[in-house]
């Protein structure tokens, strides 16, 4: 039976398997497993040398290299999985797990492409499983305080948002193009499974594509907006209750080739307005790689300063500045914001799996946010051009060449069927 059905009787334990066991996967699994009703029943990582740290958590749990084999072999012994792998494999793994009735905790950005994010939303609804995106700061006091303050009307209706992060789109691997020749694949690593949906390329050596440096490369990662958009834009989406698709998106950057993302970028979104915005549409501007909003926009009081990353909510009665992630403040003399408490993002998902109650940032919410984030990456291919987006049709309406970037070509054997 699917986990959701069994879940109604699951008053004692959630049988959990962690996919991606090092890097962020290590902390995801540990924090999920720290819930007293979680039992780790399996671990999976394409690189067996990167499973050593997690094994002591459940020494009896089998370790797999291929998530599919794990799901096939363990079947109903698994109720829920975490997916903490590089961005390009989030969708193929999470969709498969949801189709088998597993609850899924998947890292941010939810997917590498806009189309994949839409499939995740559709599948989560169809399977009726409990989902959560791994943007844990969503549950942190700073972001929750900001959401409440905006909804309480501390700066009045919002007229614009500016969000920025210092991170650059490339530079982690030190390369702008594929290395001329490949290197020997370490024995512990299944490179075919690591490449997954992307076109095959030779193993590049340590820290060329993996671990971590895949963020630079268009085939695998999503640049600075992909790495941080689902964090920084999360309180924006939550506070303003944005549930519609962007109406348009425009990127300007310092240049890119066909392999890596731009070093510095500014992306301007026009989003449908909500009950918390002053107009029927809202401009959201994203800056990265050292770019940030001007002092003229921030209008700070003496003694205030802009953080290294965060958001400015421009309101009818003043601005709220939300550092990533510490408490928000306003540029209105004498006005202080009372912090609200943090929640446990990981345990919130586990509790949801056990009770059947969907937490606030499931794949419907995370899918919407990721669609916007990845639309920014579509626009990067057409710098200086405003791309108009029809979210219902999932189509760029004024540039037919742009539509191919909403999705990707899947490698044979790693296709994703539309839901």
Binding footprint of ligand NDP on the chain (CB under 6 A): 19-25, 44-47, 50, 67, 84-87, 89, 107-108, 134-136, 189, 193-194, 196, 210-212, 227
Find the shortest distance in angstroms from Cβ 108 to ligand NHF: 6
Nearer to ligand NDP, 164 or 389 (CB): 164
Find the shortest distance in angstroms from Cβ 304 to ligand NDP: 27
Nearer to ligand NDP, 84 or 266 (CB): 84
Render the burial of 43-62: b for 16+ CB within 10 Å, e for the rest.
bbbbbbebbeebeebbeebe
- Count of Cβ atoms closer than 10 Å to residue 180 Cβ: 6
Question: Which partner from the list ligand NDP, ligand NHF, none does 84 bind, CB cut-off 5 to 8 Å by kind?
Answer: ligand NDP
| Contact string 27-66 vs ligand NHF (x = CB under 6 A) | ----------------------------------------
Find the shortest distance in angstroms from Cβ 364 to ligand NDP: 19
Find all residues with CB under 8 Å of 193, minimum gap 6, and list them. 46, 65, 66
Question: Which partner from the list ligand NDP, ligand NHF, none does 19 bind, CB cut-off 5 to 8 Å by kind?
Answer: ligand NDP
Q: Which residue is nearest to ligand NDP (CB)?
A: 23
Among 45, 227, 245, 361, binds ligand NHF (CB under 6 A): 227
Site for ligand NHF in 148-177 (CB under 6 A): 167
Question: Which partner from the list ligand NHF, ligand NDP, none does 310 bind, CB cut-off 5 to 8 Å by kind?
Answer: none
Find the shortest distance in angstroms from Cβ 87 to ligand NHF: 9
Taking the C-alpha atoms of residue 417 and residue 3, their distance in angstroms, rounded to an integer, is: 22
Taking the C-alpha atoms of residue 231 and residue 134, their distance in angstroms, rounded to an integer, is: 9
Q: Does residue 231 belong to the site contacting ligand NHF (CB under 6 A)? A: yes
- CB 378, CB 387: distance < 8 Å: yes
Nearer to ligand NHF, 231 or 345 (CB): 231
Taking the C-alpha atoms of residue 27 and residue 30, their distance in angstroms, rounded to an integer, is: 5
Cis peptide before 109 (omega within 30 of 0): yes
Q: Does residue 219 belong to the site contacting ligand NHF (CB under 6 A)? A: no
How many chain residues are in contact with ligand NHF, going by CB under 6 A?
3
Nearer to ligand NHF, 213 or 277 (CB): 213
Find the shortest distance in angstroms from Cβ 35 to ligand NHF: 22
CA distances from 285 to 252, 265, 266 (A): 11, 10, 7
Nearer to ligand NHF, 212 or 414 (CB): 212
Tokens of 41: 């029943």
Q: N- to C-terminal Cα distance for the chain?
A: 21
Taking the C-alpha atoms of residue 295 and residue 35, their distance in angstroms, rounded to an integer, is: 44
Name residue, tokens 């009950």.
275
- CB 298, CB 321: distance < 8 Å: yes
Nearer to ligand NDP, 47 or 361 (CB): 47
DSSP H helical ranges for 182-246: 191-195, 223-232, 234-239
Provide the 3-class DSSP secondary structure of residue 292: coil
Nearer to ligand NHF, 127 or 213 (CB): 213
CA distances from 1 to 6, 9, 17, 262 (A): 7, 12, 17, 46
Find the shortest distance in angstroms from Cβ 312 to ligand NDP: 22
Find the shortest distance in angstroms from Cβ 72 to ligand NDP: 15
Find the shortest distance in angstroms from Cβ 361 to ligand NDP: 12
Nearer to ligand NDP, 215 or 292 (CB): 215
Phi-psi category of 323—alpha, beta or left, where left has phi over 0 and alpha has psi -120 to 50? beta
Which residues contribute to the site for ligand NHF (CB under 6 A)?
A: 167, 227, 231
């Amino acid at each position: 039976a699917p986990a959701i059905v069994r879940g109604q009787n699951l008053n004692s334990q959630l049988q959990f398997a962690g996919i991606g066991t090092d890097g962020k996967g290590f902390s995801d699994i540990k924090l999920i497993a720290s819930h007293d009703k979680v039992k780790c029943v399996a671990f999976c990582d394409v690189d067996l040398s990167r499973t050593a740290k997690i094994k002591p958590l459940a020494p009896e749990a089998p370790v797999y290299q291929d998530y599919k084999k794990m799901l096939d072999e363990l079947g109903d012994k698994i109720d829920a999985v975490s997916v903490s792998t590089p961005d390009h494999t989030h969708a193929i793994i999470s969709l498969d797990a949801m189709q088998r009735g597993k609850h899924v905790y998947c890292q941010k950005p939810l997917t590498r492409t806009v189309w994949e994010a839409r499939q995740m939303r559709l599948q989560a609804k169809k399977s009726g499983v409990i989902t959560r995106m791994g943007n844990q700061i969503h549950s942190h006091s700073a972001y929750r305080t900001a959401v409440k303050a905006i909804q309480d009307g501390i700066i009045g209706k919002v007229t614009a948002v500016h969000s920025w992060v210092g991170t650059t789109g490339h530079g982690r691997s030190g390369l702008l193009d594929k290395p001329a020749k490949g290197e020997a694949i370490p024995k512990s690593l299944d490179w075919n499974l690591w490449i997954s949906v992307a076109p095959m390329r030779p193993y590049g050596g340590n820290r060329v594509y993996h671990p971590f440096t895949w963020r630079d490369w268009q085939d695998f990662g999503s640049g600075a907006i992909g790495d941080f958009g689902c964090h920084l834009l999360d309180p924006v989406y939550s506070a303003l209750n944005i549930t519609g698709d962007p109406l348009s998106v425009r990127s300007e950057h310092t240049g890119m080739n066909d392999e890596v993302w731009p070093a510095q970028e500014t992306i301007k979104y026009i989003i449908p307005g909500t009950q918390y915005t002053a107009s029927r549409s809202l401009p959201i501007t994203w800056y990265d790689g050292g770019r940030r909003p001007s002092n003229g926009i921030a209008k700070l009081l003496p003694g205030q300063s802009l953080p290294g990353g965060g958001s400015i909510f421009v309101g009818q009665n003043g601005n709220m500045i939300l550092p990533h992630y510490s408490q928000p403040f306003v540029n209105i003399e004498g006005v202080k914001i009372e912090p609200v408490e943090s929640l446990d993002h990981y345990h919130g998902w586990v509790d949801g799996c056990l009770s059947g109650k969907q937490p606030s940032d499931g794949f419907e919410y995370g899918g919407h946010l990721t669609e916007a984030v990845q639309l920014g990456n579509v626009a990067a291919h057409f710098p200086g051009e405003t791309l108009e987006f029809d979210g219902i049709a999932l189509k760029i309406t004024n540039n037919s060449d742009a539509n191919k970037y909403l999705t990707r070509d899947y490698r044979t054997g790693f296709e994703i069927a539309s839901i």
